[in-house]
Amino acid sequence: MIGASGQIGRPVVAALARDGWEVTAASRGGGRDDAWDTGVRVARLDRADDGALAAVVGDGCDLVVDVVAYDASHARQLTSLADRIGAAVVVSSVSVYEDGTGRGFDTTAEPDGFPVYPVPVPESQPLVAPGAATYSTRKAALELELRLAGAELPTTVLRAGAVHGPHSPLPRELYFVKRNLDGRRRRVLAHRGESRFHPASARNVAELVRLAAARPGSRVLNACDGEAPTAAEIGAAIDTVMGVETETTLLDGPPPGGTVGGGPWSVPLPVVFDMCAAERELGYRPVVSYPDSLPGTVEWLTGALREGDWRERFPLMARAYPGAFDYEAEDAWLPRA
């Protein structure tokens, strides 16, 4: 299990151990999660060292699960050991999709660059060209390398959506949780709060890994929750967990000034993914709904915010959404609403 200490890796290790697998949990720090079975072995793994992975695999294993594979070089690390690996499950991203006209996750900031995806997006949707320039193109290159080696190393590729849950480096739920903790009882949501950006609980991704581990093969599947709630529904669900009441102003269009009403789910068109193939091929059923997953996430975020400034605690979130908590801009705009 590569990437065992991360957001997805922790529940994956637990799920495989419950199924009776003898799991070696490999991560950079070699740490252990308190929720893991005592039989889980841990190992330090420096992913930049090609020989390190070979050493962890040793004489061979039935399965390698890789939740942190990023590009073609990581795929080649796996395929170079194909004679010692029975099968693999590798987590990719829905960001590999484009809309058929060249628009995708990499063009969203361009004029008219937001992709117009079908609803829902099937696995047969066109992909961005593989390359080394962006996260999306690197994930596409990862998938291409694995697909070319499918005969030697049967691999299930899981294209994860907006992953959520404890230990996230980019916790989108922070957008509402921090506001509630800061006593902000008025909020603004662009696009009438109807934006949909399909979430994926780390626990549901772990369930897909567990199912794929029991059914080795070469396949590509979307990996998302059973539902894709709107931004307004997500905010309301978090309010319920936190026991607060808020008043929401809905904007007909995009965020005014670029920040007010924007956020991690603020998209002008729906981004929703088809889960029928996972249901058909693996018998997938989500183990947790989005609302039912929230108490654990809210508790973890609340504790994390006690440790210091949100920008220091979640630097990736701060870089992705630098104006997420620009209360001064909101207050200046709200009286006019």
Weakest mean pLDDT among 118-132, 193-207, 319-333? 319-333
C-alpha 94, offset from chain centre = 9
227-278: per-residue pLDDT in tens?
999 999 999 999 999 999 999 999 999 998 778 999 899 999 999 999 999 9
Mean pLDDT of 205-224: 98
3-state secondary structure 100-126: CCCCEHHHCCCCCCCCCCCCCECCCCC
pLDDT band of 87, cuts 50, 70, 90: very high
What secondary structure letter does DSSP report for 98? B
User: How high is the pLDDT of residue 23?
Assistant: 98
pTM attached to this predicted model: 0.97
Structure-token pair, residue 306: 């006690």
Task: State the pLDDT at residue 163.
Answer: 98
3-state secondary structure of 57: helix
> What is the tens place of the pLDDT at every residue in 143-174?
999 999 989 999 999 999 999 999 999 999 99
Burial 155-180 (b: 16+ CB within 10 A, else e): bbbbbbbbbbbbbbebbbbbbbbbbb
Q: Is the pLDDT at 206 greater than 80, yes or no?
A: yes
Q: How far is 42 from 213, CA to CA, in rounded Å?
A: 19
3-state secondary structure of 294: helix
pLDDT of residue 337: 54
Span 187-215, average pLDDT: 97
Please report where in the chains the tokens 């996972």 appear, as a residue.
278
